[in-house]
Structure 1
Amino acid sequence: MTVRMDTADWAGLFHALGPASDTPRHLEALLGDDPKAFVDGYTHLWSTTIRRDSRVWPATAPTALLVSRFLDDASLWPDDPSMPDAMLAYLYKVGVAADLGDRAAEIRAQVAGRVSDLRDWTAVHLSADADGRARMWEDGTGLGGLVLDQAAVACFDVVPEILARVLPHLASGRTRRRTCAAVAVGAPARHPSASAQRPALVEQLASLSRAADSPYDVATVVIAIGQLGGDTRGWLGHPHPGVRGCAALAPGLAGDETAAQVLRELARSPGAFTESFGDMAPPLQFQSGPYQDLLAQGFFRPG
C-alpha cells in the first residue's frame, strides 16, 4: 500500500512539540520494518499529535485522515493484528474532540473574524523555540485557544470521511476489531452528516452486542449505543455489573430510576465497576472524556 504523506502543509501546522514537519516521517514508520522507528512513530501518534485532555492540535486532522486510510489495506501489520485496533482507538479520540454539535458553527464564525490574527500567531509559534512557544500560550490574547478551536473544527470537517472508512470494520471477522470499530463510530456518528444512518447503525451495534462473547465487548458496544441515542434499557438487567453500569450511563437514561438504581448498587463497592472486568481495563471509552473523568472522580459515588 502506498499512502501519500504529502497531503497537508505539515510545516505550516504544529503539534505538541512544535512544527509538524516530522509527522509524515513518523506515520510512514508505522508502515515500515524498522522496530525503533516504529516505536517512535507510535509514540509520536499518541503523545504528540493529540492532546491528553481530548483536545487536538492543528496537525491532528490531517493525521487522522492518514490513519483512517491505513485501515483500507488489510495487508498492513500482518504480524500484529492489534495495530488496526489501535488505529481505530486513535480515531475515536479524534472523534471525541470533534464532537462539537451546534458549537461548530459558532466556533467557525469566531475563527472567520480572526483569520489574519490566527495565521500570524501560528507563524510566530512555528518559528519560536520551545520556551517561546510556551510563553505564547499565556500571552493574554486568547489566540492560542482559538487556534485549538480552529483545529477542532478541522477535525469536525473530516469526520464524515473518517466514519466512512471505519464503518466496514464493524463487519470484521475479528471480534475485538468489531468492538474497536464500535468504539470508533461512537463519537463520529454523532456528526450531523450521519443523522440519517444513525438508527440503522444503532441496530447494527445492538446485533454486535448480542453476538459478543465477553462482558468487556458487550459493555464497550453498549456505551457506543448509548452515545448514539440508542435505548440501553435492555442491558440494565445484564448479569455482569460492568455491562449494567455502561448501560446505565447512556445519556438517554438520565433520570431513569432503574438506571439510577444500577449506579447506586455499584456505588456501594467503590472498585466494583473496574474490578468487574478482571484483568481487562474498562472499555476503551474510559480513556477519554467524559468517561475518563468518571474514573478520575471515583466513578459511581454513592448519592
Structure 2
Amino acid sequence: MIIAVPKLTEGARFRQNVVMRLGWDALHAHDWSRLSHAYGPATDTPAHLKRLSDDDETAWVETIEHLYGEVTHQSAVYSATAPAALVAAGLLASPQLGQAISVNGWQPEPVRAYLLGFLAAVAEGAEPDRTEKELWEAYCTPRRSGASSVWDEEPDPGGYEAVIQCRSVSPALVDPVLQCLTDHDLRTRVAAARTAALLCQVPTVASRRTEIITLIETHARNAGTYYEKAKTLVELDQIGAVNRDFLSDPDSGIRLLAALASNLTDDPEGTRVILEALADPDQFGDWYPDPHLMLLGRDDHSPSHLVSEAVRRVPDFAELLPTALAVAARAGHSTGYPDWGLLLEAAFPPPQRFSVNSPLNEAQRAYLRALLDNSEIWRPGPPETFWTPDKLFALVRLPHDRQLLAAIVNSSGG
C-alpha cells in the first residue's frame, strides 16, 4: 500500500498565519469552513462560541460540551482548537460568564472556570514536553513494522500543525488567564492557577515562565483558605517550582505539601517536616478537609506515603526510631505494608535480616517491643489482605508469634 506523504522538510511550518486577535475579533478572523475538530468540519464551532454571549444556561452547557468534547478530544487538538482558544481567552472577562453551571453532572462552576479548563487542555495539547523535532518525528515521519512494508501509522501533518498552532497562540492566552487569578470566585482562581502553570510549560511562553511562577506563588501566599493555597501549591509542584519558604508555612498541612514537592524531594527541612507529621499523627486527618484534594498530584495522600518517604530519605533506622515508635503505637494489621511493615523492613535491611547469630541492636529491639505492645497487630485480620503480619515478619526472617518474638527481644540484651 502506497501512502502519500507531504513533501515537507523537517521542522517546516506549513500553518496558515494565525492572527493574534482575541474574543469576537478572533471569531471573525478565521475561515471556520477550512478548520476541523474531532468530528469533522468546524463550521458549527462559531455558532457555539457566539452562544457564550447569551444569558442562557443551556447554551453555555452545550458550548462547554462542544469545546471539551469536539474542539479538544481525549487530549488531542485540531485545526479549530487554537482559533477557538483565542476566542475563549478574549471572553474570559465577560461579566455573565461568572454564573455557575453544571456540565455532565459535575459540581457547578462558573462558565469562566470551564473556559479556563478548556484553555488548560489547549496548553496540554501543545505537548510542551516534546521538542519540535520530536513532534515532527511523531506526526510526520512514516514508520514501518520492522522489515515489513506495512506502515504502523499514517503520517498526520494536520495533527502536527494543530499542535504547532496551539504553541503559537499560547503567549496570547497568558494575560487573560493571569487576570483570573484575582477573580472573586474561588473555583475560577483555582482553575486560573492550573491553566497558568500549564501555559508556562509551553516552549513559546518560556520568556514569561519566571513572571508566571511569581504570580502563582504570590496567589498561593495570599490565599484565604487552606484549600486554595494547597491547590495552588499542587500546580506549582507540577512545574517543579514550589518555594522552600512554604516549608515554614504556619499551616502544618501546607508545610507537608511543600515537603513532598518534586523539587524539594531531598530538602533536609522537608524531611524534618515529614518526620514531625508522622510523630504527631492525630493532626494528620485534619490537614486534608477536602477528600478530593490529592497530595501534590499523587493518588496516595495517606500516612503510608509519608512512611515510604521517611524511609527513603533517612537510611539510618536509629534516626528513624522516634518515627517508627509513633507509627507502631497506632498500627494495626490493616495498615500493613508500607506502614509499620515498611519500617520493620527498614529496621532489618538486606542483607542484614534477622539472624539468631546476630544480636539485635538497640533501635531494632525498641521497635520490636513497640510492635509487641500493640495488640491490634496480633489479632487476626481479613484473609484477603495481601500483606498480612505473618508475611511482613517472614520478610525479615522473624517469627509471627508474639511469645517467640518476645523471647527473641528479651534474649538480646533486653
CA distance in 1, matches of 2:70, 2:34: 16
CA distance in 2, matches of 1:153, 1:215: 38
Q: Cα distance 1:153–1:215, how it changes in 2: closer, same or farther (>3 A)?
A: same
What residue is the counterpart of 1:107 in the other structure?
135
Question: What is the TM-score when the length of structure 1 is the normalising length?
Answer: 0.68
Q: Cα distance 1:143–1:256, how it changes in 2: closer, same or farther (>3 A)?
A: farther
Q: CA shift at 1:46, angstroms?
A: 1.5
What residue is the counterpart of 1:178 in the other structure?
189
What residue is the counterpart of 2:34 in the other structure?
12
- Which of the residues 253, 274, 288 maps onto 1:276? 288
Structure 2: runs of 5 or more not aligned: 1-22, 101-108, 143-149, 309-414
Specify the SS of the correspondent of 1:143.
Answer: coil
What residue is the counterpart of 1:89 in the other structure?
117
Normalized per residue, the structure richer in helix is: 1
Aligned residues: 262
CA distance in 1, matches of 2:121, 2:257: 18
Q: CA shift at 1:86, angstroms?
A: 1.9
Aligned pairs for 1:137-156 (under 5 A) are: 140=151, 142-143=153-154, 147-156=158-167
Q: Cα distance 1:143–1:60, how it changes in 2: closer, same or farther (>3 A)?
A: farther
Question: What is the TM-score when the length of structure 2 is the normalising length?
Answer: 0.52
CA distance in 2, matches of 1:167, 1:277: 27
Specify the SS of the correspondent of 2:192.
Answer: helix
What residue is the counterpart of 2:49 in the other structure?
27
| Aligned residues of 1:198 and 1:228 also touching (Cα < 8 A) | no
Whose RCO is larger (CA < 8 A, sep 6+)?
Answer: 1
- Indicate the structure (1 or 2) with the bigger Cα radius of gyration: 2
Q: Cα distance 1:79–1:254, how it changes in 2: closer, same or farther (>3 A)?
A: closer
| Aligned residues of 1:99 and 1:190 also touching (Cα < 8 A) | no
What residue is the counterpart of 2:68 in the other structure?
46
- Which of the residues 89, 101, 115 maps onto 1:68? 89
Measured against aligned partners, the alpha-carbon deviations of 1:240-266 in whole angstroms (never above 9, x if no partner) come to 54x456535544234556657878979
- Which of the residues 237, 243, 255 maps onto 1:232? 243
| Aligned residues of 1:183 and 1:224 also touching (Cα < 8 A) | yes
| Aligned residues of 1:50 and 1:56 also touching (Cα < 8 A) | yes
CA distance in 1, matches of 2:256, 2:157: 36
CA distance in 2, matches of 1:249, 1:50: 32
Q: CA shift at 1:152, angstroms?
A: 1.9
Q: CA shift at 1:34, angstroms?
A: 4.2
CA distance in 2, matches of 1:156, 1:245: 35
Q: Cα distance 1:79–1:170, how it changes in 2: closer, same or farther (>3 A)?
A: closer
Aligned pairs for 1:129-208 (under 5 A) are: 140=151, 142-143=153-154, 147-208=158-219
| AA partner of residue 215 (structure 2) | Q
Structure 1: runs of 5 or more not aligned: 115-138
Aligned pairs for 1:242-281 (under 5 A) are: 243=254, 246-248=257-259, 250-256=261-267, 276-278=288-290, 281=292
| AA partner of residue 86 (structure 1) | Y
Q: CA shift at 1:185, angstroms?
A: 0.7
Q: CA shift at 1:153, angstroms?
A: 2.0
What residue is the counterpart of 2:331 in the other structure?
none
Q: Cα distance 1:87–1:247, how it changes in 2: closer, same or farther (>3 A)?
A: farther
What residue is the counterpart of 1:121 in the other structure?
none
| AA partner of residue 113 (structure 2) | D
Percent of paired sites with the same residue: 25
Measured against aligned partners, the alpha-carbon deviations of 1:257-289 in whole angstroms (never above 9, x if no partner) come to 6657878979xx9xx89x92426x337x99xxx
Q: Cα distance 1:3–1:34, how it changes in 2: closer, same or farther (>3 A)?
A: farther
CA distance in 2, matches of 1:248, 1:142: 44
Q: CA shift at 1:223, angstroms?
A: 2.6
| Aligned residues of 1:236 and 1:262 also touching (Cα < 8 A) | yes
Q: CA shift at 1:155, angstroms?
A: 0.9
CA distance in 2, matches of 1:171, 1:143: 45
| Aligned residues of 1:108 and 1:150 also touching (Cα < 8 A) | no
Q: Cα distance 1:193–1:32, how it changes in 2: closer, same or farther (>3 A)?
A: same
What residue is the counterpart of 1:215 in the other structure?
226
CA distance in 1, matches of 2:213, 2:126: 20
| Aligned residues of 1:108 and 1:153 also touching (Cα < 8 A) | no
CA distance in 2, matches of 1:194, 1:278: 33
CA distance in 2, matches of 1:147, 1:232: 40
Specify the SS of the correspondent of 1:22.
Answer: helix
| Aligned residues of 2:123 and 2:199 also touching (Cα < 8 A) | yes
| AA partner of residue 77 (structure 1) | L
| Aligned residues of 1:163 and 1:188 also touching (Cα < 8 A) | yes
- Which of the residues 46, 53, 76 maps onto 1:55? 76
What residue is the counterpart of 1:123 in the other structure?
none
| Aligned residues of 1:15 and 1:48 also touching (Cα < 8 A) | yes
